[in-house]
């Protein structure tokens, strides 16, 4: 419990903005599991009933069998003071009859324990059955929606942020559905029922005994809030500790190279110390919470004893017109009051968990509601077999409203031709190639393939016919075989191997520990950059598309591999319409059309020779790249 | 000893391992020695809080007794008929005066009992707070000390350690593993102590109070311990299974977020959705397994504790009815009963906390115990001001695990001021050579000498502070751009910093930032492009004004203009210094005074460009193949 409390308090609590709407949507997810929820309520009521019955039965044991001895035998007024309803006291004439009656009562109590345990199990299981089902469904929906979101969404939002929706926020929901919701519900029922039982038995006595409950609730809230504030600071500090760690592990070579160990350690210790201080401060409140609650519960206990005891001693009701408090009632109240503490503190802590759950749910729903920017049009038809003619007509594009990243792009390519796009970083090269498979939509103008506007055909049919090799090669943690097969799922092993051979990847794959069956680590770790690229190229070769888009990698790969990649590219380009973001002169020289892009516009166009002859921006670019070599030569 | 050594080797291994894990946990607990006072306070407070908790049943009994006696007295005294009253008095074996006395003093008894219980409540609350706070304090202290120890160790480990271990793995040890140990020390250890204390003291009290009743509940103890054992056995693999499924699901998720372009480009949404749905369903099924186990196991454990109460009700009721037990004593017994089952209920938690903490402690001490392979010799001297003569004498290097040498008998001598270009394919040993000079690794055989001093005979600090290094990948540290430039020389003046930045073509882009040199960078600051980082790294090395320079000149993704600027900066940097350069560019090779050609760890040729192009076929081949793309435009321009 202690640990759970701490964890619950350590969680960031964001309040949901629109609780009603979020709850309604939760309700929608729970609809298929409505029968479970009915079960949960019924089972919980049984459990709570058993919980209530127990102190009452213990009270009866005292009233009927244990302390009734002297008075009942007297007859007379003694009977009036007992509140035994479990059995007819007058019948209990011998010790034997009392003992057998007591055995019956003990068995009944044991029976309530059995029923309570079983139904607690049932209620948790049915709740989790529903909760896990809802979580599974929600995860599926989120994942599905993630694919509908445009590339633009992914460039605007950090991957970590998106991941955290599906992991952290789902986790808070998990806790809420698994544990918190049911415990809060059960706790509320117990408190309610106990309160009703106490008030019904004796209104005034009940009210006096319960007077401490609101105080406990407020105390818990106060300490929880204080602890939460302290934890928030601790979380920031541990963030600094982690950042320091991350930096100095990743940069350990530099730290050592520049003899910075001492400074680095001193800096770390400072962050580490700040984290400790914040945590110790939070410990003041977390440590105080339970002792204070416990002390308050003794106050409640004392109230029950003093108030009830005096009433019983004086044989006087607390208020004129109410009944006198019996010793049995006092015992029952003692048991009640001891039972009410736990649910109160539990609710106080878990309530924040429910709040975070709702807020987490809201964030997930926001992601699900994220606008799908690129839809298939209603009358979109499948793209016919692409021949390879591509045309950009006055294409404009913007990521943020009013900020154009492409301005009036116009060019056309014939089947089998190659376009090289050059220009500085941020000029719009990537945006241009992203328009072809419709990763982004134009804000004005048209992108036409074989005369068809890409927006008039279905995205799937379009993209299936366009091959892309992106700069940041992405491989899945699966075998090499499956990574290549990603290009065409129905390809046979032989076809995969043929594709690898075509791009000269076969040799190095064969040399891997398990050949084509070698399972790659996260993002293809274990392979060199160049090898990863070759696999990505093989993937596209397998796909055999008529339009090809290449983003030449600029990062340094072993020059020999580089040549292999270059050769693979050239092979791949043959006979296909291709668009290349070029970083290598050889590529540029082979292109049918070179587009020099700057600031979202095509500033020069032509072949390499033509552009050189022109002596403009391209000429400058060319000269600056190779000037050093010219000086040497 | 004999018996152990005769056991099968497999058995011995397991024993050793189990013992080892225990040992690590014990060592972690040993950190408490650093916080002796607080530890003492925590455990002292725990004893007082626990014992005062055990007084409570006595006080409750006192309250109940005073109420019951008072109430009985009141009832008897109010019996109207004299005869009936006398009969009751004989039944109770008391006199009317005594009863009247009991009745009269009952209110003060009740008040006294309540006052006492409130006093104990305050004391208990106070010490419970002190105990909890002091325990958290020491646990945080231990976490703090462990993290410091890990960090210090990490800072001093040799490069080969980093070659073998991933950043993420190391991070987890300093965060998650430390957290687990902290949790155990803050709670598990205290709970264990408390559970033991409660169990022993309570059982003693129960036996002294009523040994017959105590015997009636004793069978429940072993039963519940067995139940917990089963519970632990069932639950641990279940959680591990869920963890595995969860990380599988997260992998699919991660891949789809990071690789969304690939998924979209190849139109694989349906395929991916199917993969995800499978993992999702798998996770769901495993969660349900946990739900099944936990939904019923927890109530069952609870039930075992409760059933004891029903048993006690019957047995004690019998004793009450035949008059051998006061009802208050039964209540007291019942309250103590709860203290027997409470520690048992904690057992599951303790066991799981301990298991996790043991495994974590082992991982933590694995780092702390790692010997840095590179340390100063006891009689190491300060390296005098470097002139710049470097000699490799039959240097062979192999990573400790592999037998194939990465570098095989490499010998060469370099004179002050020369530029040395290292050429060769990936894995030919270029990086190893440059890492041996500042002694990031130690040679397995042979020696590396600077101005005639073996690098192993001089102090690391004095060696490395005189060598400027530009690594292939530049890491920036949190702080300002200026902080990063003065990384190797914190006492540099602003003029020197700016001069270094200008010489490395970084000054202009630095001024483009809103805060110039004071712009924050690193994990928590602005992001710089690869080219910008590299120029900062050059400025950093330049500021040291070293006689010996080591460069890995492979440029990362930069545009043409930037690349040229970096080239110029590097040329600036190398002037007048002995420079080792891993060459990627033809100009570097051509300009070098000495070119060393490496192939599979062996030095295959050494000389100037002119010499090698004549005599070394390997150089000619590398020149033609590795640097071919660069040389073509030159030929064309000519």
Tokens linked to B533: 């980082």
Give mean pLDDT, residues B521-534.
69
Nearest Cα of chain B lies from the Cα of A280 at a distance, in angstroms, of 6
User: Edge-to-edge strand order for the sheet containing B594-599?
Assistant: B467-470, B548-552, B578-582, B419-423, B594-599, B602-607
d(CA A116, CA A106): 15
Chain A 234-273, CB below 8 Å of chain B: which residues?
Answer: 238, 241-261, 263-265, 268-269, 272-273
Nearest Cα of chain A lies from the Cα of B477 at a distance, in angstroms, of 6
Nearest Cα of chain A lies from the Cα of B570 at a distance, in angstroms, of 12
The pLDDT value recorded for residue B298 is 75
Going by C-beta distance under 8 Å and a sequence separation of 6 or more, which residues neighbour residue B251?
A: A477, A522
B57 with B206, same domain?
A: yes
CA B505-B506-B508 angle, to 5 degrees, is 95
Chain B 304-323, CB below 8 Å of chain A: which residues?
Answer: 306-307, 309-311, 313-314, 317-318, 320-322
Q: Which residue has the higher pLDDT, B164 or B77?
A: B77
Instruction: Tell me which chain A residues have a C-beta less than 8 angstroms from the C-beta of B71.
Output: 312-313, 327
d(CA B173, CA B363): 7
Please indicate whether, in this complex, the C-beta atoms of A468 and B265 are within 8 angstroms of each other.
yes
pLDDT tens profile A474-489: 788 788 998 899 888 8
pLDDT at B517 over 70: yes
In 3D space, the residue among A88, A90, A95, A96 whose CA is nearest the CA of residue A74 turns out to be A90
pLDDT at B635 over 60: no
Nearest Cα of chain B lies from the Cα of A188 at a distance, in angstroms, of 19
SS3 of A501-517: the string is: HHCCCHHHHHHCCCHHH
Q: Is there a domain that residue B569 lies in?
A: no
- Can you spell out the DSSP letters for B320-344? HHTTSS-HHHHHHHHHHHHHHHHHH
Going by C-beta distance under 8 Å and a sequence separation of 6 or more, which residues neighbour residue A574?
A: none
B203 with B236, same domain?
A: no
With cut-offs at 50, 70 and 90, classify the pLDDT of residue B56.
confident
Q: Give the helix/strand (H/E) hosting A604.
A: strand A601-606
B441 with B401, same domain?
A: yes
Given CB atoms, is B514 within the 8 Å cutoff of chain A? no
Domain encompassing residue B217: 213-324
d(CA A493, CA A382): 29
With cut-offs at 50, 70 and 90, classify the pLDDT of residue B634.
very low
Please give the span between the terminal C-alpha atoms of chain A, in angstroms, as a whole number.
Answer: 77
Nearest Cα of chain B lies from the Cα of A536 at a distance, in angstroms, of 10
Q: Which of A113, A295, A298 sits opposite B306 (nearest CB)?
A: A113
In 3D space, the residue among A296, A151, A344, A608 whose CA is nearest the CA of residue B632 turns out to be A608
d(CA B249, CA B586): 48
Q: Which of B280, B330, B487 sits opposite A136 (nearest CB)?
A: B280
Residues B543 and B497: beta-carbon distance below 8 Å:
yes
Chain B 254-273, CB below 8 Å of chain A: which residues?
Answer: 254-269, 271-273
Given CB atoms, is B633 within the 8 Å cutoff of chain A? yes
B76 with B171, same domain?
A: yes
Of B184, B210, B236, the residue that ends a domain is: B210
With cut-offs at 50, 70 and 90, classify the pLDDT of residue A150.
confident
d(CA A136, CA B281): 7
Instruction: Tell me which chain B residues have a C-beta less than 8 angstroms from the C-beta of A251.
Output: 475-477
B255 with B315, same domain?
A: yes
In 3D space, the residue among A262, A328, A284, A313 whose CA is nearest the CA of residue A67 turns out to be A328
DSSP annotation of A479: B
Q: How many CA atoms lie less than 13 Å away from B207 in the CB half-sphere?
A: 7
Number of residues that make up chain A: 633
d(CA B318, CA B333): 14
Chain A 67-96, CB below 8 Å of chain B: which residues?
Answer: 67, 69-71, 73-78, 81, 95
pLDDT at B409 over 50: yes
Tokens linked to B620: 């000619």
DSSP annotation of A371: -
Q: Which residue has the higher pLDDT, A374 or B411?
A: B411
Q: Is there a domain that residue B371 lies in?
A: no
Going by C-beta distance under 8 Å and a sequence separation of 6 or more, which residues neighbour residue B568?
A: A628, B505
d(CA B419, CA B549): 9
pLDDT tens profile A358-384: 888 888 888 888 887 788 888 889 999
Please indicate whether, in this complex, the C-beta atoms of A437 and B264 are within 8 angstroms of each other.
yes
What is chain A's mean pLDDT, rounded?
81
pLDDT tens profile A502-552: 888 898 888 777 889 888 765 555 677 778 888 888 988 898 889 999 887
B62 with B176, same domain?
A: yes
Instruction: Tell me which chain B residues have a C-beta less than 8 angstroms from the C-beta of A486.
Output: 262, 266, 268
Given CB atoms, is A586 within the 8 Å cutoff of chain B? yes
B180 with B307, same domain?
A: no
| Structural domains of chain B, count | 3
pLDDT tens profile B328-364: 677 667 767 777 777 776 776 677 678 778 878 888 8
With cut-offs at 50, 70 and 90, classify the pLDDT of residue A392.
very high
With cut-offs at 50, 70 and 90, classify the pLDDT of residue B554.
low
pLDDT at B427 over 60: yes
Of B167, B183, B210, the residue that ends a domain is: B210
Given CB atoms, is A288 within the 8 Å cutoff of chain B? yes
What's B426's domain CATH number? 3.40.50.300
The phi and psi torsions of A240 (rounded to 5 degrees) equal -65, -40
* Long-range contacts of the stretch A257-260 (C-beta < 8 A, 24+): A257/B438, A257/B440, A257/B464, A257/B467, A257/B469, A257/B471, A257/B488, A258/B464, A258/B465, A258/B469, A258/B487, A258/B488, A258/B540, A258/B544, A259/B460, A259/B461, A259/B464, A259/B465, A259/B488, A260/B487, A260/B488
Instruction: Tell me which chain A residues have a C-beta less than 8 angstroms from the C-beta of B171.
Output: 242, 245-246, 249
Residues A584 and B629: beta-carbon distance below 8 Å:
yes
d(CA B389, CA A433): 53
What is chain B's mean pLDDT, rounded?
80
The pLDDT value recorded for residue A4 is 52
Q: Which of B295, B477, B540 sits opposite A247 (nearest CB)?
A: B477
d(CA B536, CA B485): 6
In chain B, the residue whose alpha carbon lies closest to the alpha carbon of A123 is B295
In chain A, the residue whose alpha carbon lies closest to the alpha carbon of B73 is A313
Q: Which residue has the higher pLDDT, A297 or B635?
A: A297
Going by C-beta distance under 8 Å and a sequence separation of 6 or more, which residues neighbour residue A434?
A: A151, A440
Q: Is there a domain that residue B552 lies in?
A: no
Q: Is there a domain that residue B539 lies in?
A: no
Locus of tokens 């032509």:
A606
What is the ipTM metric for this complex? 0.76
pLDDT at B529 over 80: no
Please indicate whether, in this complex, the C-beta atoms of A77 and B281 are within 8 angstroms of each other.
no
In 3D space, the residue among A413, A430, A412 whose CA is nearest the CA of residue A421 turns out to be A430
In chain A, the residue whose alpha carbon lies closest to the alpha carbon of B537 is A254
The pLDDT value recorded for residue B559 is 57
In 3D space, the residue among A148, A194, A338, A36 whose CA is nearest the CA of residue B272 turns out to be A148
Please indicate whether, in this complex, the C-beta atoms of B281 and A136 are within 8 angstroms of each other.
yes
Q: Which residue has the higher pLDDT, A461 or B628?
A: A461
Please indicate whether, in this complex, the C-beta atoms of B629 and A586 are within 8 angstroms of each other.
yes
Q: Is there a domain that residue B167 lies in?
A: yes
Instruction: Tell me which chain A residues have a C-beta less than 8 angstroms from the C-beta of B175.
Output: 238, 241-242, 245
Q: Give the helix/strand (H/E) hosting B600.
A: none
Residues A428 and A405: beta-carbon distance below 8 Å:
yes
pLDDT at B134 over 90: yes
Given CB atoms, is A370 within the 8 Å cutoff of chain B? no
B161 with B236, same domain?
A: no
Q: Which of B117, B143, B167 sits opposite A302 (nearest CB)?
A: B117
With cut-offs at 50, 70 and 90, classify the pLDDT of residue B633.
very low
pLDDT tens profile B265-290: 777 778 888 888 998 999 999 988 88
pLDDT tens profile A196-247: 888 888 888 888 888 888 888 888 878 878 887 887 788 778 777 877 777 7
Q: Is there a domain that residue B267 lies in?
A: yes
Per-residue CA distances from A57 to A54, A102, A301, A329, B213 (Å): 5, 11, 19, 11, 21
Per-residue CA distances from A384 to A450, A507, B267, B439 (Å): 9, 36, 16, 63
Q: Give the helix/strand (H/E) hosting B8.
A: none
Nearest Cα of chain B lies from the Cα of A325 at a distance, in angstroms, of 10
In 3D space, the residue among B375, B541, B572, B575 whose CA is nearest the CA of residue B465 turns out to be B541
In 3D space, the residue among B261, B258, B259 whose CA is nearest the CA of residue A434 turns out to be B261
What's B114's domain CATH number? 1.20.1560.10
Mutation for testing the B interface, residue in A40, A73, A143, A209 having most B CBs under 10 Å: A143
B201 with B218, same domain?
A: no
d(CA A248, CA A241): 11
Q: Give the helix/strand (H/E) hosting B584.
A: none
B173 with B202, same domain?
A: yes
Locus of tokens 């709670």:
B187
The pLDDT value recorded for residue A228 is 78
Please indicate whether, in this complex, the C-beta atoms of B261 and A468 are within 8 angstroms of each other.
yes
Per-residue CA distances from B62 to A394, B70, B90, B313, B329 (Å): 94, 12, 24, 19, 9
pLDDT at A269 over 70: yes
d(CA A285, CA A227): 5
Q: Is there a domain that residue B289 lies in?
A: yes
Q: Delineate the domains of chain A, giving CATH numbers in brackets.
A: 2-369 (1.20.1560.10), 380-465+581-633 (3.40.50.300)
Identify the bridge partners of residue A479 per DSSP, sorted by sequence position: A519
In chain B, the residue whose alpha carbon lies closest to the alpha carbon of A134 is B284
Of B160, B182, B210, the residue that ends a domain is: B210
Give mean pLDDT, residues A621-625.
70
Instruction: Tell me which chain B residues have a C-beta less than 8 angstroms from the C-beta of A75.
Output: 84
d(CA B356, CA A551): 47
Residues B178 and B360: beta-carbon distance below 8 Å:
yes
Nearest Cα of chain A lies from the Cα of B21 at a distance, in angstroms, of 24
Mutation for testing the B interface, residue in A102, A112, A258 having most B CBs under 10 Å: A258
Given CB atoms, is A116 within the 8 Å cutoff of chain B? yes
Please indicate whether, in this complex, the C-beta atoms of B288 and A129 are within 8 angstroms of each other.
yes
Give mean pLDDT, residues B170-190.
83
Instruction: Tell me which chain B residues have a C-beta less than 8 angstroms from the C-beta of A476.
Output: 255, 259
Identify the bridge partners of residue A392 per DSSP, sorted by sequence position: A411, A447
The pLDDT value recorded for residue A557 is 57
pLDDT tens profile B478-498: 788 998 888 878 888 999 999
In 3D space, the residue among A191, A163, A491 whose CA is nearest the CA of residue A342 turns out to be A191
Q: Which of A62, A559, A633 sits opposite B327 (nearest CB)?
A: A62
pLDDT tens profile A561-575: 677 777 888 888 888
Give mean pLDDT, residues B96-116.
85
Q: Which of A118, A298, A563 sits opposite B117 (nearest CB)?
A: A298
Tokens linked to A592: 């049918």
d(CA A550, CA A471): 8
d(CA A394, CA A445): 5
Q: Which residue has the higher pLDDT, B584 or B79?
A: B79
B61 with B133, same domain?
A: yes
Residues A558 and A571: beta-carbon distance below 8 Å:
no
d(CA B285, CA B276): 14
- What sign does the CA torsion over B450, B456, B459, B463 have? positive
Q: Is there a domain that residue B332 lies in?
A: no
Inter-chain contacts counted by CB atoms under 8 A, chains A and B: 470
Give mean pLDDT, residues B159-186.
76
Q: Give the helix/strand (H/E) hosting B402.
A: none
With cut-offs at 50, 70 and 90, classify the pLDDT of residue B569.
confident
B231 with B251, same domain?
A: yes
């Amino acid at each position: 419990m202690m640990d759970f409390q701490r964890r619950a308090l350590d969680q960031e609590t964001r309040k949901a903005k629109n609780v009603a709407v979020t709850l309604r949507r939760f309700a929608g997810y729970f609809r298929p599991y409505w029968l479970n929820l009915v079960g949960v309520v019924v089972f919980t009521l049984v459990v709570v009933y058993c919980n209530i019955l127990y102190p009452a039965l213990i009270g009866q044991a005292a009233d009927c069998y244990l302390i009734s001895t002297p008075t009942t035998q007297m007859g007379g007024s003694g009977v009036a003071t007992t509140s035994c309803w479990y059995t007819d006291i007058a019948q209990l004439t011998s010790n034997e009859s009392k003992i057998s009656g007591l055995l019956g009562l003990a068995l009944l109590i044991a029976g309530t324990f059995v029923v309570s345990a079983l139904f607690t199990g049932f209620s948790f299981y049915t709740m989790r059955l529903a909760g896990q089902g809802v979580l599974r469904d929600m995860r599926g929906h989120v994942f599905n929606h993630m694919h509908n979101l445009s590339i633009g969404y992914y460039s605007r939002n950090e991957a970590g942020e998106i991941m955290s929706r599906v992991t952290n926020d789902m986790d808070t929901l998990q806790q809420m559905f698994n544990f918190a919701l049911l415990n809060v519900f059960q706790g509320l029922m117990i408190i309610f029922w106990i309160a009703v039982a106490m008030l019904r038995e004796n209104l005034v006595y009940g009210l006096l005994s319960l007077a401490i409950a609101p105080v406990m609730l407020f105390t818990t809230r106060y300490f929880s809030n204080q602890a939460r504030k302290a934890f928030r600071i601790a979380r920031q500090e541990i963030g600094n500790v982690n950042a320091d760690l991350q930096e100095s592990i990743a940069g350990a070579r530099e730290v050592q190279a520049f003899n910075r160990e001492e400074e680095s350690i001193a800096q770390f210790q400072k962050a580490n110390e700040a984290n400790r201080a914040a945590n110790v401060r939070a410990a003041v409140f977390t440590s105080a919470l339970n002792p204070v609650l416990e002390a308050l519960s003794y106050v409640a206990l004392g109230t029950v004893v003093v108030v009830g005891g005096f009433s019983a001693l004086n044989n006087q009701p607390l208020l004129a017109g109410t009944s006198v408090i019996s010793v049995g009632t006092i015992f029952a109240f003692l048991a009640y009051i001891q039972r009410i503490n736990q649910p109160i503190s539990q609710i106080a802590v878990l309530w924040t968990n429910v709040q975070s759950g709702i807020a987490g749910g809201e964030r997930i729903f926001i992601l699900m509601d994220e606008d799908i920017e690129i839809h298939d049009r209603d009358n979109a038809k499948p793209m016919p077999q692409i021949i390879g003619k591509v045309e950009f007509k006055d294409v404009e594009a913007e990521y943020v409203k009013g900020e154009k990243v492409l301005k009036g792009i116009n060019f056309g390519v014939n089947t089998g031709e190659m376009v090289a796009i050059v220009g500085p970083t941020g000029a719009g090269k990537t945006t241009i190639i992203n328009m072809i498979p419709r990763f982004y939509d134009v804000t004005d103008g048209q992108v036409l393939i074989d005369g068809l506007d890409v927006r008039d055909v279905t995205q799937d049919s379009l993209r299936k016919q366009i091959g892309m090799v992106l700069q940041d090669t992405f491989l899945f943690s699966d075998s090499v075989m499956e990574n290549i097969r990603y290009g065409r799922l129905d390809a046979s092993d032989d076809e995969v191997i043929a594709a690898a051979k075509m791009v000269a990847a076969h040799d190095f794959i064969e040399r891997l520990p398990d050949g084509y069956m070698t399972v790659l680590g996260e993002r293809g770790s274990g392979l060199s950059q160049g090898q990863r690229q070759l696999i990505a190229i093989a993937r596209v070769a397998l796909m055999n598309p008529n339009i090809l888009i290449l983003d030449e990698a600029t990062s340094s790969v072993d020059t020999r591999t580089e040549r292999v990649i270059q050769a693979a590219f050239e092979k791949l380009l043959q006979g296909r319409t291709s668009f290349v973001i070029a970083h290598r002169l050889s590529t540029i020289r082979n292109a049918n059309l070179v587009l020099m892009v700057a600031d979202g516009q095509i500033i020069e166009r032509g072949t390499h020779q033509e552009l050189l002859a022109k002596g403009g921006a391209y000429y400058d670019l060319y000269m600056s790249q190779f000037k050093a070599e010219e000086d040497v030569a | 000893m004999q018996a152990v050594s005769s056991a099968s080797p497999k058995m011995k291994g397991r024993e050793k391992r189990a013992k080892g894990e225990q040992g690590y946990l014990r060592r972690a607990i040993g950190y408490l020695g650093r916080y002796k006072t607080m530890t003492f306070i925590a455990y002292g407070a725990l004893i007082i809080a626990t014992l005062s908790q055990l007084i409570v049943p006595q006080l409750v009994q006192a309250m109940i007794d005073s109420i019951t006696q008072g109430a009985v007295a009141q009832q008897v005294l109010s019996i109207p008929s004299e005869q009936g009253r006398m009969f009751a008095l004989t039944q109770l074996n008391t006199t009317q005066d005594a009863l009247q006395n009991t009745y009269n003093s009952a209110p003060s008894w009740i008040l006294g009992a309540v006052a006492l219980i409130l006093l104990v409540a305050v004391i208990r609350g106070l010490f419970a707070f002190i105990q909890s706070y002091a325990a958290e304090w020491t646990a945080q202290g231990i976490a703090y000390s462990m993290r410091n120890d890990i960090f210090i160790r990490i800072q001093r480990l040799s490069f080969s350690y980093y070659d073998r271990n991933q950043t993420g793995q190391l991070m987890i040890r300093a965060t998650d593993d430390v957290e687990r140990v902290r949790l155990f020390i803050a709670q598990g250890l205290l709970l264990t102590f408390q559970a033991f204390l409660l169990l022993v003291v309570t059982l003693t009290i129960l036996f002294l109070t009523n040994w017959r009743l105590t015997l009636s509940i004793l069978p429940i103890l072993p039963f519940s311990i067995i139940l917990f054992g089963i519970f632990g056995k069932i639950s641990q693999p279940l959680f591990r299974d869920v963890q595995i499924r969860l990380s599988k699901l997260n992998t699919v998720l991660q891949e789809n977020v990071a690789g969304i372009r690939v998924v979209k480009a190849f139109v694989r949404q349906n395929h991916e959705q199917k993969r995800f749905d499978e993992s999702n369903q798998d996770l769901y099924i495993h969660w349900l397994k946990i739900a099944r186990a936990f939904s019923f196991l927890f109530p069952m454990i609870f039930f075992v504790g409760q059933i004891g109460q029903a048993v006690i009700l019957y047995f004690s009721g019998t004793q009450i009815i035949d008059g051998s037990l006061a009802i208050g004593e039964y209540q007291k017994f019942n309250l103590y009963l709860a203290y027997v089952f409470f520690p048992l209920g904690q057992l599951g938690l303790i066991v799981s906390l301990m298991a996790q903490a043991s495994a974590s402690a082992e991982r933590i001490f694995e780092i702390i115990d790692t010997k840095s392979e590179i340390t100063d010799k006891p009689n190491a001297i300060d390296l005098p001001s470097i002139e710049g003569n470097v000699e490799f004498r039959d240097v062979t290097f192999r990573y400790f695990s592999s037998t194939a040498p990465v570098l095989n008998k490499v010998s060469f001598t370099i004179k002050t001021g020369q530029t040395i270009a290292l050429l060769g394919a990936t894995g030919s040993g270029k990086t190893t050579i440059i890492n041996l000079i500042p002694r990031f690794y130690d040679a397995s055989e042979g020696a590396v000498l600077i101005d005639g001093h073996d690098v192993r005979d001089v102090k690391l600090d004095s060696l490395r502070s005189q060598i400027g290094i530009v690594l292939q990948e530049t890491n920036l540290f949190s702080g300002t751009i200026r902080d990063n430039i003065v990384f190797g020389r914190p006492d540099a003046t602003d003029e020197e910093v700016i001069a270094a930045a200008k010489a490395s073509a970084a000054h202009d882009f630095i001024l483009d930032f809103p805060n110039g040199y004071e712009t924050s960078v690193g994990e928590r600051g602005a992001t710089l492009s690869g080219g910008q980082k590299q120029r900062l790294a050059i400025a950093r090395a330049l500021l040291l004004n070293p006689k010996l320079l080591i460069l890995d000149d492979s440029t990362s993704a930069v545009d043409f203009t930037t690349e040229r600027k970096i080239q110029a900066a590097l040329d600036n940097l190398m002037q007048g210094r002995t420079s080792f350069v891993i060459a990627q560019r033809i100009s570097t090779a051509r300009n070098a005074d000495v070119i060393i050609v490496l192939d599979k760890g062996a030095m295959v040729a050494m000389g100037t460009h002119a010499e090698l192009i004549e005599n070394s076929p390997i150089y000619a081949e590398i020149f033609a193949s590795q640097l071919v793309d660069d040389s073509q435009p030159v030929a064309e321009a000519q």
